[in-house]
């Protein structure tokens, strides 16, 4: 393992804007059509600057290149970028609400090498430190096996509506973090 995990900063945004489409077009291709992926890039798959501002978004770097990203949130939106219409930045209550796991993207050349897992462990640790008891997310079909391998449970399968009238199958998943050591 010759890469490093760190918190994202505003200066990572140009590299993130390159990484996200690369990840989506390669790693989601077995599950979604090109039309679905292109419609989702932007509103659904994109950068949420609020997570960077909150210090809850991580990047993985290798020799100066970003090869993975992902984070968590103490805010209501379950998915989506700055560009999504129904964005809700209101704060969650750790006593009653589940923290969100958000926007994981790994460079296709670095898939299945544990980068997604490393970011997810960092997120769960930070979520516990923020006093949340559980985590919730909406996974893509490409992301579902990662979260399932961390014992996230499927709550609902549904269609995420896209701007061009298409839709994208998504999976709502949840996990109690009470037994996870921070
Ligand atoms: C989902 C994603 C972030 C996973 O990242 P990753 O770094 O490849 O994941 P890891 O290497 O940590 O995988 C951990 C475990 O998850 C499971 N897993 C991950 N990808 C899998 C796949 N394509 N098929 C089956 N199992 C998979 C496996 O159990 C894997 O362990 P193993 O490799 O020892 O068998 C990556 O596939 C991705 O960026 N996809 C495109 C963008 C996307 O859809 N993001 C999800 C948003 S919810």
Q: Where are the domains of the chain?
A: 4-176
Q: What is the pLDDT of residue 182?
A: 57
Q: Running DSSP on this structure, what letter comes out for residue 41? A: B
What is the per-residue pLDDT across 87-109, written as a single tens digit (0 to 9) for each?
Answer: 888 999 999 999 999 999 999 99
| CA distance linking residue 101 with residue 118, whole number of Å | 13
The strands making up 153-161's β-sheet, listed across from edge to edge, are 4-7, 57-62, 65-73, 99-106, 134-139, 167-176, 153-161
Residue environment code for 48-66, b if the CB has 16+ CB neighbours within 10 A, otherwise e? bebbbebebbbbbbeeeeb
166: CA distance to ligand 1 center in Å? 25
Report angle CA 94, 9, 52 to the nearest 5 degrees: 30
Q: Which two tokens stand for residue 148?
A: 């399932």
Ligand 1 binding pocket includes 104 (Cβ within 6 Å): yes
Query: What backbone torsions phi and psi does residue 65 show, to the nearest 5 degrees?
Result: -110, 135
Ligand 1 binding pocket includes 24 (Cβ within 6 Å): yes
What is the per-residue pLDDT across 150-181, written as a single tens digit (0 to 9) for each?
Answer: 999 999 999 999 988 999 999 999 999 987 76
Q: To test the ligand 1 pocket, which listed residue (112, 117, 138, 149) has its Cβ within 8 A of the most ligand atoms?
A: 112
Q: What is the pLDDT of residue 181?
A: 66
Is CATH 3.40.50.1360 correct for 4-176?
no
Give how far the C-alpha of residue 75 lies from the chain's centroid of Cα atoms, to the nearest Å: 13
78: CA distance to ligand 1 center in Å? 19
Greatest extent of the chain over all pairs of C-alpha atoms, in Å: 43
The more confident residue out of 73 and 80 is 73
Q: In the beta sheet, which residues pair with residue 168?
A: 160
Give how far the C-alpha of residue 157 lies from the chain's centroid of Cα atoms, to the nearest Å: 17
């Amino acid at each position: 393992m010759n890469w490093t995990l760190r918190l994202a900063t505003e200066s990572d945004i140009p590299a993130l804007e390159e990484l996200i489409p690369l990840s989506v077009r390669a790693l989601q291709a077995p599950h979604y059509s090109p039309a679905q992926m292109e419609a989702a890039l932007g509103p659904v798959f994109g950068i949420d600057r609020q997570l960077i501002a909150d210090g809850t978004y991580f990047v993985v770097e290798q020799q100066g290149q970003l090869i993975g990203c992902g984070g968590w949130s103490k805010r209501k939106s379950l998915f989506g970028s700055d560009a999504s219409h129904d964005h809700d930045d209101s704060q969650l209550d750790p006593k009653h609400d589940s923290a969100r796991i958000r926007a994981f993207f790994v460079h296709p050349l670095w898939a299945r090498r544990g980068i997604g897992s490393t970011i997810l462990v960092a997120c769960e640790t930070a979520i516990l430190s923020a006093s949340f008891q559980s985590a919730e997310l909406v996974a893509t079909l490409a992301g579902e096996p990662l979260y399932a391998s961390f014992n996230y449970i499927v709550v609902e399968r549904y269609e995420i509506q896209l701007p061009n009238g298409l839709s994208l199958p998504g999976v709502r998943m949840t996990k109690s973090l009470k037994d996870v050591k921070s």
